Homo-oligomer: A and B are copies of this chain.
């Protein structure tokens, strides 16, 4: 075997992630990443087939970092699911600019698969099985990724809330009121509160 590869996929992903964290998602380009690595643009193509594959590496780098160790085996299953959901949220939250990429590439992520496997273990232990387990897992995953996006891309958190409070009161009286109420609900409470609703529903 001649000449070992000098760059690992992990190094590629880290370089791309550094570009994104510094210049935003719009700053991501093959040229920028190559420069970040100190190599020529075309050198990159020795490691990835195209930009899409590079994006997949970035998503896997971010999502693969989620801690999927089974949390505190003694704890009630609700708490364990909550811990797992919180970990996924925190992992993505560390790189908010990547969120739009995760939307398109999530399904290739081993990290999410491992996370799901751990969640399934907790659910199974709690007696959830068969088709119900399918539905519950999908509901949890759906809620978590939706909530993450609302948190990082939506209004109702930060400046959006005040913008929303200024809506035409005639047409959106309840939205305006809700935006006002939302000022005292921080992102953590919102995420955990919604998750608690879902967990309540699973308990029933």
Contact = CB atoms under 8 A, between A and B. Distances in A.
How many chain A residues sit at the interface, stated as a range, is 35 or more
A117 B169 CA distance: 11
Contacts of A204: 200-201, 204
A144 interface: yes
A149 interface: yes
A138 interface: yes
Contacts of A113: 167, 172, 175
Interface in A161-192: 167, 171-175, 178, 181-182, 184-185, 189-190
A66 interface: no
Contacts of A189: 135
How many copies of the chain does the oligomer comprise? 2
Contact of A117 (B107, B133, B174): B174
Interface string A79-96: 000000000000000000
A193 B103 contact: no
A131 B185 contact: yes
Nearest to A99: B103
A39 interface: no
Given A198-B201, A201-B198, A146 B135 contact: no
A93 to B, nearest CB: 15
Contacts of A104: 100, 153
Nearest to A202: B197
Interface of A: 99-100, 103-104, 106-107, 113-114, 116-117, 120-121, 124, 130-131, 133-139, 141-147, 149-150, 153-156, 160, 167, 171-175, 178, 181-182, 184-185, 189-190, 193-202, 204
19 contacts: A106-B153, A113-B175, A133-B178, A133-B181, A134-B190, A135-B185, A135-B193, A138-B147, A138-B156, A139-B195, A142-B149, A142-B150, A143-B198, A144-B146, A146-B149, A197-B198, A197-B201, A198-B198, A199-B201
